[in-house]
Amino acid sequence: MAMRHANPVQKAEVRGISEAWNGALAEALKGTESEKRWGGIQQWKSFPGSQVMHPPGASEHLTPLIVCAGAAADGEVTKSYKDEYLGVDILTFYWGSDKLDEGKDEL
């Protein structure tokens, strides 16, 4: 659904789906144990809203997150920040770096 042309009800529906997706993704990636993160992110297709947020055949922009989550070493804390795009929160996760911006959220 194109958020630019959606009515308020459709926008609220997409925001709800996005919030559920973001929550499941954050839960899967939290912690410092690489095996747990890897096991969690492998389940992404079963997360709430996965078929809307990353439809079949259109998940290529999720691949870098999967690679980075698998490459993060034991002991590395999952960090994130949140941006908003068309009224929907977009989370970015990262490892192995200091805080990127003091004004951003962390898990």
pLDDT band of 106, cuts 50, 70, 90? low
What pLDDT was estimated at residue 3?
67
Per the domain annotation, does 61 fall within a domain?
yes
Per the domain annotation, does 49 fall within a domain?
yes
Per the domain annotation, does 74 fall within a domain?
yes
List the domain range (segments joined by +) for residue 12: 7-94
pLDDT band of 96, cuts 50, 70, 90? confident
User: Of 102, 99, 59, 52, which Cα lies nearest the Cα of 78?
Assistant: 99
Per the domain annotation, does 99 fall within a domain?
no
Per the domain annotation, does 2 fall within a domain?
no
pLDDT above 70: percentage of residues in the chain: 88
Per the domain annotation, does 100 fall within a domain?
no
The average pLDDT across 46-69 equals 89
Per the domain annotation, does 50 fall within a domain?
yes
Per the domain annotation, does 40 fall within a domain?
yes
- pTM for this one? 0.80
Domain count, the chain: 1
